[in-house]
Structure 1
Amino acid sequence: MATLSISGLCRLVLPLAAAALLVTPATAAKHHHRHKRHLPPASESAARVSETPQTTPAPGARPQDMENRAEKSGQGKSRLDSNDDFLNQEKSHPKWDAHPPRSKDAQSAPRAQPEPQTPEIVPTPTEKPAELEPEPPETAPQPPEKPAGAGEEKMLPDPRSGDVPADKMPAEETACRERLRALGVEFEEHKAERDAQIGCSVPYPIILKTLGKSIGVSTGTELNCPMAEAAARFLADVVQPTAKAELGADLKAVNQASAFICRPRNGTRKLSEHAFGNALDIASFTLSDGSKIEVGPAPPEKDAKFLDAVRKAACGPFKTVLGPGADADHALHFHLDLEPRRHGGTFCQ
């Protein structure tokens, strides 16, 4: 009886087991079909992939894999028992999720987050540092000292600079002195004047005491003899009769502003005629009545007439005549000289 029951039971179970084996692939296919995802069109899928990074999920466990693991466990269950257990598990197992389960590694990995956009940093202009005033040096820098002789410009050469006195006075110098005595001019000899560095030279100078029989002159008037003779003749022939006619008095004396002096012309490198004793500057005339006629830019009308006549008459006997109005240097005196000029010309202003 017990034998029959077992055999009868086997006949009932074997068909069920066979049916279970047939149902299992179909059920698995049904579940697989149930959870199959409907993919979007290729164009939309490509666009989504380009926009959002995706993480590929790990494949979930399938029923076949579970059956294999059960057979390998070695727990002594028969194939029939395994099928029964699997059917029971299928009944009690919940529906598959829309998304397959992730592996442990996939679950533990953090979700990829979009990188935050760094806000654009606008550079802030830096403040200009305050300019520090340089500290003054303890000692003010001094300009370098100029070497000796620096800044001294040499004079333009003049052939008269090489004139030196001879052992015996030349005949023309002796004759000049004889003419001065005849005019009533008193004078005395003076040693030669010479400055080789500057170029001044008066080989035979004289110091005048008078410029005629009754015409005095300032003390220390040093000239060369030809210039002294020209001044004495001009005073006797022009100035004396003009003073008598215009002012009603005789010429008593001449007050000179400059005679011999070793220097160049103002503002030039050319030697002045004064450097050769060849010029006389007259600042005023003294008359016999004690009045003084001063040379200037605006003399009294009566004096101006006298001075104008003298100035005009001087151009000829002298090669250069300058006075007020010519330039600032000659505003207060008449400059008279015998500078040699081409063709005996004159320069009068």
Structure 2
Amino acid sequence: MATLSLSRFCRLALPVAAAILLVTPATAKHHHRHKRHLPPAGQSAAPAPQTPAATAVPGSRPQDMENSADRSGRDKSRIDSNDDFLNQDKSHPKWDARPPRSKSARSAPRTQSEPQTPDVVPTPPQRPTELEPEPPETGPQPSEKPEPPGEEKMLPDPRSADMPADKMPAEETACRERLKALGIRFEEHKAEHDAEIGCSIPYPIILKTLGKSIGISPGAELNCQMAEAAARFMAEIVQPTAKAELGADLKSIDQGSAFVCRPRHGTRKLSEHAFGNALDIAGFTLSDGRKIEVGPTPPEKDAKFLDAVRKAACGPFKTVLGPGADPDHALHFHLDLEPRRHGGTFCQ
């Protein structure tokens, strides 16, 4: 009896187990089909669609209920047969045609395929050698800028080589004796010599007065011959002219320049000032305090006096220049003893 019961149990259990095995894959597929996909982290889930509110369904009639029951029974049997067919199909797995991948291949991350290197790498053509640029043709060079007149060498003058001797010459000693006899005060000064420019005064003196009653301001450095000519001219010509034209004695003169180591303006020839051989007179002071200034348009009385002095100077001096001669002499008389041919003079 017990043996019979065990064999009957086995016959009943086997179909049940087979049914369970067939139902399980279908259930898993059903759950996979309806599995909800969750959004990735950091992304908000899409809002669930709102279910419309339940609406009232009218009750079915008895005949309709019977017809629907018959249809539902037929549909259910059709669905069960379809599920049985699907389960049978899934119970027989198909072999994958692809060869199985090795474990290392499955674990290795996917990488992009590296490009294959060709056997022969093409070499780019060499860049042609750049030719050195040819130097530009030499154009005409500008002429050298001429040096300013002041920097050019002066024209030679024989007096530039004059140097003092160990003993003062006799003519220099005699000149000094004449100055003392006229009552002129003076001081000896060391020799002046500039070999580069050419200025030279071997035996200069500083003239302090032009006689016993005529002064000079400031003191003038001159050679002795020019100092004597200036002193005699003031005492013998200017003093009596001032008394006649202005009614007063000459007290002193204002000198503009005496020795200056420079060339003539705008030339390469040395000025007579470079040898202490010229004196510039800018004005006269009378005994009553009046000042007569040399200029282009002096007062009428002053102009008469100045014209007389200017005319009288041409003779005792070899060069006389003043207002109207050139712009450089518009405010003074220039008097010098420049040696000229045949004792000639130049007066303007």
- TM-score (norm. length: structure 2): 0.57
Distance 1:318 1:271 in 2: 18
Alpha-carbon displacement from aligned partner over 1:99-135 (angstroms, at most 9, x marks no partner): xxxxxxxxxxxxxxxxxxxxxxxxxxxxxxxxxxxxx
- What SS does structure 1 have at the residue aligned with 2:263? coil
- What SS does structure 1 have at the residue aligned with 2:230? helix
Shift in CA distance, 192/303, structure 1 to aligned 2, threshold 3 Å = same
Paired residues of 2:263 and 2:269 also in contact (CA < 8 A)? yes
Partner of 1:153: 152
Partner of 1:245: 244
Tell me whether 260-269 or 219-228 shows the greater mean CA deviation.
219-228
Partner of 2:263: 264
1:229 equivalent in alignment to 2:231: no
Partner of 1:290: 289
Shift in CA distance, 173/151, structure 1 to aligned 2, threshold 3 Å = closer
Runs (4+) off by over 6 Å? 148-151
Report the residue type matching 1:299 in the other structure.
P
Paired residues of 2:149 and 2:268 also in contact (CA < 8 A)? no
Shift in CA distance, 247/194, structure 1 to aligned 2, threshold 3 Å = same
Distance 2:257 2:313 in 1: 17
Q: Give the deviation of 1:219 after TM superposition.
A: 2.3
Distance 1:150 1:188 in 2: 34
Report the residue type matching 1:239 in the other structure.
V
Q: Give the deviation of 1:150 after TM superposition.
A: 11
1:217 equivalent in alignment to 2:216: yes
Distance 2:237 2:171 in 1: 25
Distance 2:159 2:228 in 1: 19
Q: Give the deviation of 1:214 after TM superposition.
A: 0.6
Report the residue type matching 2:217 in the other structure.
S
Partner of 2:176: 177
1:347 equivalent in alignment to 2:346: yes
Q: Return 5+ residue gaps in structure 1 as ranges.
A: 1-145
Report the residue type matching 1:235 in the other structure.
M
Q: What are the within-5 Å matches in structure 2 for residues 19-38 of structure 1?
A: none
Partner of 2:254: 255
Q: Give the deviation of 1:218 after TM superposition.
A: 1.1
Distance 1:328 1:185 in 2: 33
Distance 2:321 2:148 in 1: 33
Alpha-carbon displacement from aligned partner over 1:262-292 (angstroms, at most 9, x marks no partner): 0000000000000000000000000000000
Distance 2:182 2:212 in 1: 7
Q: Return 5+ residue gaps in structure 2 as ranges.
A: 1-144
Report the residue type matching 1:227 in the other structure.
M
Shift in CA distance, 256/151, structure 1 to aligned 2, threshold 3 Å = closer
- What SS does structure 2 have at the residue aligned with 1:283? strand
Distance 2:298 2:275 in 1: 31
Distance 1:209 1:215 in 2: 10
Report the residue type matching 1:201 in the other structure.
S
Q: What are the within-5 Å matches in structure 2 for residues 74-223 of structure 1?
A: 152-223=151-222
- What SS does structure 1 have at the residue aligned with 2:151? coil
Distance 1:233 1:283 in 2: 18
Shift in CA distance, 290/158, structure 1 to aligned 2, threshold 3 Å = same
Shift in CA distance, 290/152, structure 1 to aligned 2, threshold 3 Å = same
Q: Give the deviation of 1:152 after TM superposition.
A: 1.8
Shift in CA distance, 243/270, structure 1 to aligned 2, threshold 3 Å = same
Paired residues of 2:239 and 2:250 also in contact (CA < 8 A)? yes
Shift in CA distance, 162/291, structure 1 to aligned 2, threshold 3 Å = same
Distance 1:213 1:150 in 2: 43
Distance 2:266 2:220 in 1: 25
Distance 2:151 2:223 in 1: 28
Cα-Cα RMSD: 2.1
Shift in CA distance, 230/151, structure 1 to aligned 2, threshold 3 Å = closer
Alpha-carbon displacement from aligned partner over 1:243-279 (angstroms, at most 9, x marks no partner): 0000000000010001000000000000000000000
Q: Give the deviation of 1:220 after TM superposition.
A: 3.1
Partner of 2:70: none
Distance 1:314 1:206 in 2: 22
Report the residue type matching 1:261 in the other structure.
V
Q: Give the deviation of 1:202 after TM superposition.
A: 0.3
Q: Give the deviation of 1:149 after TM superposition.
A: 10
Shift in CA distance, 150/205, structure 1 to aligned 2, threshold 3 Å = closer
Alpha-carbon displacement from aligned partner over 1:201-254 (angstroms, at most 9, x marks no partner): 000000011011010001231000000000000000000000000000000001
Partner of 2:336: 337
Distance 1:239 1:270 in 2: 31
Partner of 2:319: 320
